[in-house]
Structure 1
Amino acid sequence: MNAATSAPASATASNARRAGMAMAAAGAILFSAKAILAKLQYRYGVDSLQVLALRMAFSLPLFAALGIRETHRARARKALPSRRDLGWIVILGVLGYYLSSLLDFWGLEYVPVSLERLILFLNPTIVLLIGLFAFKRKVAGKEWIALAVSYAGVVLVMVENLRVQGDHVLFGSALVLGAAISYALYLAMSGELIKRLGTMQLVAYAMIVSTIAVMTHYLIARDPAALFGLPWQVYALAAANAVFCTFLPVTFTMAAVARLGAGTAAQFSVIGPVSLVFLGAWVLGEKITLIQLIGTAVVLGGVVLLSRPGANSVPLPSSSK
């Protein structure tokens, strides 16, 4: 390849990288903003189950269309899921997008959005601990340091929120931590399926399963009529949550991974908790204290340490059998 042909190729690669960075940043901010929209809906007298049911109902047509497209593509390359794969998709859909979302929105009734996003941002550390206890994975020294730093930051912010807002923060934090654990289990268990089916196909199918689970839960627990006749603002916020904070972040993130690689794209997730601290103050009037800012910086520092390529440096011992 001569200089004349390499220059356009280099420019194309540079443009793709810039586009990937913009998509990764936008995805992180939009996905974090779902907590803001949920908090705004709560002001109209709805609860977490109603907010979740409306979010999933509005996002279902989008993910169904994505699922149809991915099914056609999978059929063309003969990569349709097996019955065993479908069973795992049901389990992952319930764990990753039903139980996790239910606990998350429930927790948001009790904690500020800045603390909610910070606890959810512990996902990489929880995945690491799952690997340690469930799969006997070896943990490097840098990873232990990152774990300690991350959880110290969350404790710092939680103590400050207890001082400012009261004891209900503990209950809400426990719910959000449950959401983080549920989603971490989804991440830890989805690796092989992603290799076989691809990320978009798995996400589309899992979201459809989750929607069915949410609606089944709602029909068992509540009168379906309670979803109708709500203030129009509730439906507008639910539609915005479905489109801008659920479907678009997923597609943006996947597009970013295609352009940057998974590791680089993941680095941009740190923007989410930082943006939410200031969005919560601006939109919801939540207080920002110096201790909260310090705690947020500490957590982000720990997760950045954990996501560096050199951190995961201790492999599992090879089998001697």
Structure 2
Amino acid sequence: MNNTAIDPSVAPVTRPALVAGLAIAIAGAILFSTKAIVAKLLYRYHIDAVTLIAFRMLFSLPVFAGVAIWKMRTEAPLSARDRRHLLGLGLVGYYLSSYLDFLGLQYISVGLERLILFLTPTFVLLITALFLKQRIRRIQWIALALSYCGIVLVLAHDLQGGAGDTATGALFVLGSAIAYAVYLLGSGEMVRRIGSLRLVAYAMCVSSAACIGQFFILRPAGLLLQPLPVYGLSLVNGIFCTILPVFMTMVAVQRIGAPSASQAGMIGPVSTLFLGWALLGEPITAVQLAGTGLVLAGIYTLSLKK
């Protein structure tokens, strides 16, 4: 099914442009998913989630701050209400969600982490049904069932290796996915009003301030002195796993539309599973592949609900 042809957000595109847009979306999804791999590598140097996320934001903040300053100078100022809204979105969507995600990665595999985060669209659906009273259709229930059966399958498999730690990590990442779902719901109207680039730049600046401030409140400044590989991995985390994926996703959405870009992003959990095997030595089992397949089938079905 060619979603680009029916997506009102973009004009019809040629086949080469479609292939280029899909390639950008896939590359962005893989890079964003790689942050879990980088986090696991950083944890080998005995740093914690507070320090990890602070270094990530220290390296990515200059770019987002530059974009934010450019937007402040070239566009109309935001109202007080919009500023308060952006403050909340930055704290929930990029600070709380990222912090809980990195906390969870201390306990669970990167494959399970990515699968849980991939449930974010289902949480958006459930929140709208519970609080906005929107009816869930039969095809959506099928999509939810497929997705959660896949997660239960992989979670039950991983629990065999350490039930306490796996359950703790899964709950942290689950909280991360729910926080990001809340961000997506809260940002919808503002994206249409101020634009996605401006929204992301401002929200990332708020998140960066929170992450860096949290570090100086909870940790001694001496922890800024780390082995050289920590700086190198943090630079990769900030640039290649944060900045580039954000802008690549925006470019892909502009070229091929949100539905097609979203479906291309389904490569994320699969790429994380195999990168975890190749770089971290995490095993790939038939159960994990089956669970991943169920989650991807559920999300794909959900994306086709219209």
Pick the TM interval, shorter chain: over 0.9
**For residues 246-295 of structure 1, what are the alpha-carbon distances to aligned partners after superposition, in whole Å with 9 as ceiling and x for unaligned?**
00000000000000011111001110000000000000000111101100
**For residues 91-147 of structure 1, what are the alpha-carbon distances to aligned partners after superposition, in whole Å with 9 as ceiling and x for unaligned?**
000000100000000000000000000000000000001101111111111001101
Greater CA deviation, 10-19 or 40-49? 10-19
CA displacement at 1:29 relative to structure 2:
0.2
Structure 1 length-normalised TM:
0.90
Q: How does 1:81-230 map to 2 (within 5 A)?
A: 81-228=78-225, 230=226
RMSD: 1.4
CA displacement at 1:165 relative to structure 2:
4.2
Q: Could you say what secondary structure the match of 2:266 adopts?
A: helix
Q: Are 1:252 and 2:248 an aligned pair?
A: yes
Q: Could you say what secondary structure the match of 2:107 adopts?
A: coil
CA displacement at 1:222 relative to structure 2:
1.1
**For residues 142-184 of structure 1, what are the alpha-carbon distances to aligned partners after superposition, in whole Å with 9 as ceiling and x for unaligned?**
0011011101100100000111344310000000000000000
Quick check: which has more Rg, 1 or 2? 1
CA distance in 2, matches of 1:139, 1:114: 28
Q: Could you say what secondary structure the match of 1:46 adopts?
A: coil
- AA in 1 matched with 2:45: Y
CA distance in 2, matches of 1:243, 1:66: 15
Q: Which residue number in structure 1 is paired with residue 298 of structure 2? A: 302
- AA in 2 matched with 1:276: T
- AA in 2 matched with 1:295: G
**For residues 234-256 of structure 1, what are the alpha-carbon distances to aligned partners after superposition, in whole Å with 9 as ceiling and x for unaligned?**
01000001000000000000000
CA distance in 2, matches of 1:271, 1:290: 18
CA distance in 2, matches of 1:285, 1:302: 28
Q: Could you say what secondary structure the match of 2:95 adopts?
A: helix
Unaligned runs of 5+ in 2: 1-10
CA displacement at 1:71 relative to structure 2:
2.8
Q: Could you say what secondary structure the match of 2:116 adopts?
A: helix
CA distance in 2, matches of 1:238, 1:184: 26
Q: Which residue number in structure 1 is paired with residue 64 of structure 2? A: 63
Q: Which residue number in structure 2 is paired with residue 44 of structure 1? A: 45
Residue correspondences, number? 296
CA distance in 1, matches of 2:278, 2:64: 31
CA displacement at 1:15 relative to structure 2:
2.9
Runs ≥4 residues deviating over 6 A: none
CA distance in 2, matches of 1:30, 1:82: 34
- AA in 2 matched with 1:275: S
Distance verdict in 2 for CA 1:18–1:70, change over 3 Å: farther
Q: Are 1:237 and 2:221 an aligned pair?
A: no
Taking every aligned residue pair, what percent have the same amino acid on both sides? Answer: 49
Q: Could you say what secondary structure the match of 2:160 adopts?
A: helix
Q: How does 1:13-52 map to 2 (within 5 A)?
A: 13-52=14-53
Q: Which residue number in structure 1 is paired with residue 259 of structure 2? A: 263
Q: In the alignment, is the contact (CA less than 8 A) between 2:13 and 2:256 conserved in 1? A: no
CA displacement at 1:11 relative to structure 2:
11
- AA in 1 matched with 2:16: N
Q: Could you say what secondary structure the match of 1:136 adopts?
A: coil
CA displacement at 1:81 relative to structure 2:
1.9
Structure 2 length-normalised TM:
0.94
- AA in 1 matched with 2:148: Y
CA displacement at 1:220 relative to structure 2:
1.6
CA distance in 1, matches of 2:67, 2:15: 29
